[in-house]
Structure 1
Amino acid sequence: MKPITGIVITLNEAERIGGCIDSLKRVCNEILVVDSLSQDDTVRIAEEKGAKVLLQEYLGDGPQKAHAVPLASNDWILALDADERLDDDAVEAILTLTLDDPSFAYSFRRRNFCGSHWIKAAGFYPDEVVRLYNRTTGGYLPKKAHSSVQAPKYASTGTHLLHFTYENLSHWVQRIDQLSTRDAWAMKGKGIPPSSFRPARHALSALVRKLLFKGGVFQGSDGFTVALTTAFHAYMKYAKLNELYENEAGPKQH
């Protein structure tokens, strides 16, 4: 196996960064943490765990994840979020990969958790994500929201990441609030115009997609939870986009 550099982006992840770094240490000989000026102990904990920390004000999802890549000592990069861990099967798979072909990028199946509850419904599993790639041929797209790895070829390891997505349902709602705000700013940066109909249209589309096409209607309370929260996220990001334009224009005169 070729040497691998682990990269994590963080913002106020003191409670989770230690476990993430410990997970990466199982397969990586170098770990870089790109921190968006955390106000908690994230940086201290990461450094105590042996990671090199780079301070960088948040640039957007793709640019932030790409920021440390040129500084890595290795060409092979394994990118995790602070709330993700390598499952045992993923560790075994990575350790057996020869990594002789730099054109390949490798994907993993995420097990998404709300607290201790593994949510499989409405597309929450297998949730395949590409995380291991060679920087000479691949990398994260420069998208400010929901970026992904682009590479010439892809292969699935068929193994798992543990994704401790939400601490509980209240945290789930809080994350939707945070992410929808970020999404709205990213859409405005791309020049997407406001629309009074778009929030409801996208929310309804998300609800139908999750309930019917992803089978949520047949998957009990988890199916409805995923469908409703996805619809809520869709509605809020477009409603917040409208709000950004309204605030920019200032109060209406009557």
Structure 2
Amino acid sequence: MTPITGIVITLNEQSRIAGCLDSLKQVCDEIIVVDSLSQDDTVRIAEACGARVLSQTYLGDGPQKAHGVSYASHDWILALDADERLDDDAVAAIQALSLDDPDIAYRFNRRNFCGSHWVKAAGFYPDKVVRLYNRTTSGYLPRKAHSSVASPRIEDTGTHIRHFTYENLSHWMQRIDQLSTRDAWAMKERGVGPSPWRPTLHATSAVLRKLLLKGGILQGADGMIVTVTTAFHAFMKYAKLNELYEQERLERK
């Protein structure tokens, strides 16, 4: 089997990192964890699992993952988030791949969970993500939020990654708060300006997209939960962007 380096970025992931690394060890010859100065036992646990740990102040999603890739011993990279696990079908598929064409990156279907409940509604499944690629031709875009892999060619494996996104609904709301703050910061870094209309416009667009285009209106409670949380996230990231500019304006006075 062609050697693969696993890459994971972390911040205070002590409860989840071992499961992620155990998953990667099934197919990876090397694992690198890029840790954003965790204050818990993430680093100790990762090292105990056999990973090489690099400490790096958070650079943003894409740049942080790229930082780890630069230390990899192998050209084939398998990137997982700390809350992701390879399903058995994905492990079998990766083990069977020849990996003889560096132009191909491989895409997986992600199964998103809230606690033990698999949320499929309103576009939450199959949630296709590229995770396996060759660094000589492909890599994560230099986006500070929600980066993705750019590659000459992408092939679907048709197999699965489990994504333990939220522990429960309360955690779901906490994550929206955290991610919307990160998104606002990333947008400001890209030069996106403030607007009194964007929060409402983007929230409304999210409702229409999830309810109608993604079929959430026909998918019961899960459809409504995904719709409401997506709209709230959209509203808050633009509201927080406006807040950043307002804070900057006040500091200049």
Q: Normalising by structure 1, report the TM-score.
A: 0.98
Match of 1:57 in 2: 57
Match of 1:109 in 2: 109
One-letter amino acid matched to 2:199 = P
Question: How far off is 1:68 after superposition?
Answer: 1.2
- The ranges of structure 1 where at least 4 consecutive aligned residues each deviate by more than 2 angstroms after the TM superposition are none
**Structure-2 separation of matches of 1:251 and 1:145:** 26
Question: How far off is 1:251 after superposition?
Answer: 7.8
**Structure-2 separation of matches of 1:123 and 1:10:** 26
2:78 pairs with 1:78: yes
Matches of residues 44-193 of structure 1 in structure 2 within 5 Å? 44-193=44-193
**Structure-1 separation of matches of 2:252 and 2:212:** 41
**Structure-1 separation of matches of 2:249 and 2:143:** 26
Where structure 2 has 5 or more consecutive residues not aligned to the other structure, the ranges are: none
Q: Structure 1 residues 58, 252: CA separation in 2 closer, same or farther (over 3 Å shift)?
A: closer
**Structure-1 separation of matches of 2:252 and 2:122:** 42
**Helix, strand or coil at the partner of 1:187:** helix
One-letter amino acid matched to 1:190 = R
State the identity %.
75
Question: How far off is 1:70 after superposition?
Answer: 1.6
Where structure 1 has 5 or more consecutive residues not aligned to the other structure, the ranges are: none
One-letter amino acid matched to 2:19 = G
Match of 1:246 in 2: 246
Query: Alignment length, in residue pairs?
Result: 253
Question: How far off is 1:252 after superposition?
Answer: 11
**Structure-2 separation of matches of 1:83 and 1:144:** 19
Q: Structure 1 residues 89, 197: CA separation in 2 closer, same or farther (over 3 Å shift)?
A: same
**Helix, strand or coil at the partner of 1:160:** strand
Q: C-alpha offsets along residues 104-128 of structure 1, whole Å, 9 cap, x if unaligned?
A: 0000000000000000000000000
**Structure-1 separation of matches of 2:132 and 2:9:** 15
Q: C-alpha offsets along residues 131-181 of structure 1, whole Å, 9 cap, x if unaligned?
A: 000000000000011100001000000000000000000000000000000
Q: C-alpha offsets along residues 190-236 of structure 1, whole Å, 9 cap, x if unaligned?
A: 11110101100000000110000000000000000000000000000
**Helix, strand or coil at the partner of 2:159:** strand
Question: How far off is 1:71 after superposition?
Answer: 1.0
